[in-house]
Chain A
Amino acid sequence: MDGLVSISSNFLYLAFVLYLAATFFFGGTIRSKNSTSSQTWVSRVAIGLTILGFLASVVYFILRWIASGHAPVSNLFEFTTFFGMMLVLAFIVMYFIYRLNILGLFVLPVALLIIAYASMFPTELSPLVPSLKSHWLYIHVTTVSLGEAVLAVSFAAGLIYLIKEVDQSYRSKRTTWLEIIIYSLYATLGFVVISSIFSATDYNATFEVTNESGVSTLEYHLPAITGPADGTLVTTDRMEPWFDTPGWMNGAEAPRKFNTLLWSFAVGLVFYLITRLILRKRIAAAIQPYLRKVNSDLVDEISYRAVAIGFPIFTLGGLIFAMIWAQEAWNRYWGWDPKEVWALITWFFYAAFLHLRLSQGWHGEKSAWLAVVGFAIIMFNLIAVNLVLAGLHSYA
């Protein structure tokens, strides 16, 4: 059985490498003399590699399914990886509708970041608790992540639009926000890099925490910038925390997660500043010239179209299938669990997006900003709700 799991992991690794290669080829299409949606051998190789990568990830999925006996969408690693897969699938579909090469250059790095992010969580096969033992696990989770992935393509298109259209000749709120979006991608990269480094060295610092319910231990895999309140470091030769985690952070193992967050922000900031130093201008301003040939209206339409396609899928998976399953498993179709509420918030948000776009004429830049905010909400629900807010879905 172990053999199957490791073969499966290798296919995921292969997919990762193929996506990385495809990203470079999509990058190569920028230099082509014609418009950004023309078909050259470079773009054919790029989309070919993307499809191969996707097939490799499908093999990962099937093998892991066989090995564990259930669809690999049951813990944070598996679910996030699947979301990355679906993002690539959504991109492939949108690519064949619009043939826009530049979209690949933005979507694939996001997919790479998501897959890398996923692999920072425990990757061993996990058993299903009784409430997850249902066919609805596959039906619900797969449709939700497909829907969210299509909505994420909307984010990528919106980002292209913003980088192209936001005036970079002077500093404004818009340029600042754009840099913040780019920095948040850097922070994700920071998380991946710092986690990889310290897990390669098997870093471990254990704290003993005393509270009302007695003494418990908390293990850090990164040096503690922030330690648990009322905790003492028991591992020797480890850095003492600089300060205590605020008391209102109450999620399970909150101090450790907060510490990881601080590390990610810090490392992301270092990467970001290095890039800025090299470029000597805002990152969006540095990318902007390469997007000169991009047809803004086309990108705007892709961003909207992705919402139009993704919204019904998300509704079906994230609300309707979710309710049917909740009725079977928890005997109520709706329980105001944080994950449920945030799915509803996502739904409300995109409903407002569609009304504003179709009825109030919010096109172009306004629509692009909305696409970015929508993605932020999705990522919040995907990651923060599991990690920060306790609830029925916090199986990570």
Chain B
Amino acid sequence: MKRIVCEACGHSNAEGTVLCQSCGKPIEKNQHIDGNEKTKLLNMRYDGSARRSQTYNKSFVDKIWNFFSSVKVGVWLIVLTLLASALGTIFPQEMYIPQDVQPLDHYREQYGIAGQIYYQLGLHNLYSSWWYMILIALIGISIVVASIDRVVPLYKALKMQKPKRHETFLKRQRLFSQTNQPSLNDKEKFLERLKSKRYKLTEEDGHILAEKGRFTRWGPYVNHLGLIIFLIGALLRFVPFMYIDEFVWVREGETLPIKGTEREYYIENNDFIFETYDEEEDRKFAEALQNQSAPVASNYQTDAVIYRNHEAELVGAEPDLEKVKEGSIRVNHPLKIDGFSLYQSSYQSEFSTMSFYIHETDDKDEQELANFTVDLSNPVNHYELDNGFEVELVRYMPDYYLDDGEPKSKTDYPNNPAFVFAVYPPDASEPEYSFAGIGRNIDATGENDYKIALNGFDVQYVTGLAVKRDYTLPILMIGGLIFMIGVVQGLYWQHRRIWIHPKGNELWVAAHTNKNWYGLKREIDTLMEDTSLIRVVDQQEQK
């Protein structure tokens, strides 16, 4: 690699250096890089260090590198992602529309032609679309390339800097002053005050550099590192081992294997508790509750026992369960076991038993002749009743509906149970067929002597628990933490440098900060108070 030797101090600089790393003298042939040719002030960004992106632009790799290292490109990517994100909130995303409808119909019915276009463009799943992913990936690449392009040369430049700077460098700083024949006393006073303001002073032949807050220059690179770790964490979700996302429905009293744990853990639902606010008990909320049409939920809770199955390895073996944990699962209070978390996500109430009685069809009083109860989670087929009746359960539809006139079951959950019973009266050999359900009682032939009527039912809760194991969470936490450290480090402090340069009878003072110029100028003003030193002038203001 070619080196550039500084004419003033003899320091050997990397190719593409704009300001000598040691003394700061502008390196003539490179001034175009930071646009210093026509300006009075030097562009001090990255201290005039040699950045790859500003030095090479020949090969394909150079061009790609330069593209991604540009802040302008980075900002454009941010703005595009911002606009795309906003686009996705115009109508609800697909995951927030009702599950039991055709998405196209839903968007068309709800939002008209605009909704249809929205759907057809795929904007209903915008955030998982390939182009949105690519935008995020490009931002990621931009962050990495732009950071590497800057942090290495900047680190070298700040490490290398000498207190004694070239005069051109000082004169072309934004804050600058020249004091003729300053008193030694005043200079000492100024230096003492700098020290008390926690400036670090280094000296070389009477030339002094007062510096503080250099660490803040690394803030952007630290926060970018945090973002990259976060993005990697988010990406790792696609690795199956890292992320398990399951759901279990457990009835009260039931014990089931927890999905996703390979039958290693079982859960028993001892009780599901659903509570609502009560106007009498929660008097302070009475007014708000009266304004609500429906009761307001106060608690969803599953009292659960977790078992460990010692026979999990053996396929088909009877589970050998050992109780390992007992506790309640509430919203905001998941139950955690062995990396898995169980979240209270949903619940349903369903029928657990239904009981029926038999009466004579012609009996207006519907006097009960016999009764029986069907256990819906485990229905028995044959029932022998009082007075010599027998009932056969011919067909059971847990979630009854009519599909083109044909009775069917929508799901296996007893949400709307219906039955076809064959009733054997004591005096007959041929059965009578009856269809029974909630609010339905149909006599198939219209000639039945006996009728089946609903006597009552029991309801039980089924709790819906999300089962998650997410090994990416610690990575995301670390990424977020590093980002916060970096962003605070970079934004809550400033890197301030003041060069004090004796020149014959004069004392030159030049100052630079990476941001908050007003604050630096004000600080120097107070540090120079009641001295004969000439206050620094903001040379940019005088344009």
A→B interface (CB under 8 Å): 1-2, 5, 67-69, 122, 124-131, 133-134, 136, 247-248, 250, 297-298, 301, 304-305, 308-309, 311-312, 315-316, 319-320, 323, 327-331, 333, 335-338, 341-342, 344-345, 348-349, 351-352, 354-356, 358-360, 385, 389-391
Task: Taking A341-B86, A345-B85 as given, write out 4 further A-B residue pairs in contact, using a Cβ cutoff of 8 Å, ordered by the A residue number.
Answer: A329-B331, A330-B343, A338-B89, A391-B92
* B541 near A352: Cβ-Cβ < 8 Å: no
User: Once the chains are docked, how many angstroms separate the CA of A349 from the CA of B86?
Assistant: 12
B287 within 8 A of A: yes
> What does the 1/0 interface line of B256-288 toward A look like (CB < 8 Å)?
000000000000000000000100001111011
Contacts of A69 in B (CB 8 A): 284
CB distance from B304 to the nearest CB of A (A): 16
- The answer to whether B517 and A352 touch across the interface, beta carbons within 8 angstroms, is no
The interface size of chain B toward A, counting residues with CB under 8 Å, comes to 65
Contacting residues of chain B (272-317) with chain A, CB-CB under 8 angstroms: 277, 282-285, 287-289, 291, 296-300
User: Which residues of B have CB within 8 Å of A354?
Assistant: 491
Cβ–Cβ contact A391 & B96, under 8 A: yes
Say yes or no for B484: interface residue by CB 8 A criterion: yes
Does B201 belong to the interface (CB within 8 Å)? no
Contact yes or no, A355 B285, CB < 8 A? no
- Closest residue to B518 on the A side, CB-wise? A301
Please tell me if the beta carbons of A336 and B284 are within 8 angstroms of each other in the complex. no
User: B518 near A359 (CB under 8 angstroms)?
Assistant: no
The answer to whether B297 and A360 have CB atoms under 8 Å apart is no
Within 8 A of A (CB), among B174-201: none
B345: which A residues are within 8 A, CB to CB? 331
Cβ-defined contact, B330 with A315, below 8 A: no
The docked-state distance in angstroms from the alpha carbon of A323 to that of B226 is: 16
- Convert B345-364 into 0s and 1s, putting 1 for each residue whose CB lies closer than 8 angstroms to a CB of A: 10000000000000000000
Q: Which residues of B contact A136 (CB under 8 A)?
A: 332
In the assembly, what is the distance between CA of A128 and CA of B282, in Å? 11
User: Can you pick out 25 interface pairs between chain A and chain B where the beta carbons lie within 8 Å of each other?
Assistant: A124-B287, A125-B284, A127-B282, A133-B332, A248-B112, A248-B115, A301-B517, A304-B515, A312-B484, A312-B488, A315-B487, A323-B476, A331-B345, A333-B476, A335-B95, A336-B88, A341-B89, A345-B85, A355-B75, A358-B515, A359-B71, A360-B71, A385-B89, A389-B89, A391-B92
Is B45 positioned at the interface, with any CB of A under 8 Å from its CB? yes
Q: A328-B332, A360-B75 are in contact. Are A309 and B492 (CB under 8 A)?
A: yes
Q: Given A134-B332, A248-B111, A305-B516, do A68 and B78 touch, yes or no (CB 8 Å)? A: no
Q: Is the CB of B492 within 8 A of A308?
A: yes
| 10 A-B pairs closest in CB distance | A130-B331, A331-B343, A124-B287, A348-B82, A308-B491, A127-B285, A134-B332, A126-B288, A301-B518, A359-B71
- Say yes or no: B331 contacts A297, CB within 8 Å: no
> Is B502's CB within 8 Å of the partner chain A?
no
Which A residues touch B480, using CB under 8 A?
A: 319-320, 323
Tell me if A331 and B341 are in contact (CB < 8 A): yes
The distance from the CB of B262 to the nearest CB of chain A, in whole angstroms, is 20
Max chain B Cβ within 10 angstroms of own Cβ: one of A349, A352, A356: A352
A301 touches B519 (CB 8 A): yes
Residues of B within 8 A of A351 (CB): 78
Interface string of B471-506 (1 = CB under 8 A from A): 001001000100110011001100000000000000
Q: A133-B332, A309-B491 are in contact. Are A355 and B484 (CB under 8 A)?
A: no
Contact B289 A355 (CB under 8 A): no
Instruction: Pick the residue among A5, A130, A333, A335 that contacts B300 (CB under 8 A).
Output: A130
Given A129-B297, A250-B110, A356-B75, answer yes or no on A342-B89 (Cβ-Cβ < 8 Å).
Answer: yes
**A127, B112: Cβ atoms closer than 8 Å:** no
* Complex-state Cα separation, A349 to B85, whole angstroms: 12
CB neighbours (8 Å) of B468 from chain A are 331
Q: Check B369 for interface membership: any CB of A closer than 8 A.
A: no
B71, B79, B332: the one contacting A329 at CB < 8 Å is B332
A127, B277: Cβ atoms closer than 8 Å: yes
B466 beta carbon closer than 8 Å to chain A: yes
Give the CA-CA distance A355 to B142 in the complex, in Å.
13
- Interface membership of chain B positions 42-85, coded 1 if the CB is closer than 8 angstroms to chain A and 0 otherwise: 00010000000000000000000000000110110011011001
List the B side residues contacting A337 at CB < 8 Å.
96
A348 touches B71 (CB 8 A): no
**Distance, CA A356 to CA B518, complexed state (A):** 19
Is B539 part of the contact surface with A, judged by Cβ < 8 Å?
no
Taking a contact as CB atoms under 8 Å apart, the answer to whether A311 and B491 are in contact is yes
